[in-house]
Amino acid sequence: MPKPIQLAINGTNRAAVPGDPGRSLLVVLREEFGLTGAKYGCAAGACGACTVLVDGAAVRACVTPLADVAGRAVTTIEGLPPHGAPHPVQAAFVAAGATQCGYCTPGMVLAAAALVEAHPHPDDAQIARALDGNICRCCAYPRISRAVRAAGRPAGTPPPPPTPQARHRRPPPRRPMAGVPRKPNGSRAPHRT
């Protein structure tokens, strides 16, 4: 009988049943250990919903064979916050309203946590590279970027100056009915006589 595969999940040594050698880390985390923060998504490593940290680096659990993480440290969203308090990235996501539906959030937070650990003050290009391939179907990317920048700064420090690209961005479009006067009933439809 094959020996169980040993790995440290969220700081606890665990043994996984070897089973199929190509079985993914995602399947083991969710179905064997009940850690459902990593989500099923594309099953091809393209959407980032299954992102976890392996030895501190963001990896796609759906395409990572269990055998590849034997003896290594795996951190899921359930094990990210220190001592039950929110991780700075989690707190920044909440403050920036970057969670939207929440399906991609665990993967985004873990990828961002790995970035902030490696680069405490990430710039826009570093954030874009670190989160490349983590798909947010709610399109909360501007909020997510703001949250990652905020998580990388100590509390009370001003944000870094905008990048040259940010300075030359067009202003956001006006709300479609912003310039239309209100009718007496409060609607914004043009008043007809």
Same domain, 27 and 85: no
What's the pLDDT at 4? Answer: 87
Query: Strand, coil or helix: what is 87?
Result: coil
Same domain, 1 and 65: yes
CATH code, domain carrying 118? 1.10.150.120
Cβ contact 76:37 at 8 Å:
yes
Cβ contact 111:136 at 8 Å:
no
Q: How far is CA 31 from CA 10, 37, 110, in A?
A: 16, 12, 20
Residue 75 CB-half CA count within 13 A: 20
Same domain, 56 and 41: yes
What's the pLDDT at 10? Answer: 95
Edge-to-edge strand ranges of the sheet holding 5-9: 12-16, 5-9, 73-75, 51-54, 57-60
- Amino acid identity for residue 34 in this structure: G
Q: Is residue 39 part of a domain?
A: yes
What's the pLDDT at 184? Answer: 63
Q: Is residue 175 part of a domain?
A: no
What's the pLDDT at 187? Answer: 54
What domain range includes position 1? 1-79
Same domain, 1 and 71: yes
Q: Is residue 113 part of a domain?
A: yes
What's the pLDDT at 158? Answer: 57
Q: Is residue 173 part of a domain?
A: no
CATH code, domain carrying 31? 3.10.20.30
List per-block mean pLDDT (blocks of 10 residues) for the chain, which spans 193 residues.
Answer: 87 87 90 96 95 97 94 96 86 93 95 95 94 93 95 63 45 47 56 46
Q: Is residue 192 part of a domain?
A: no
Model pTM score: 0.78
Q: How many domains does the chain have?
A: 2
Q: Is residue 162 part of a domain?
A: no
CA gap 190, 181 in Å, rounded: 7
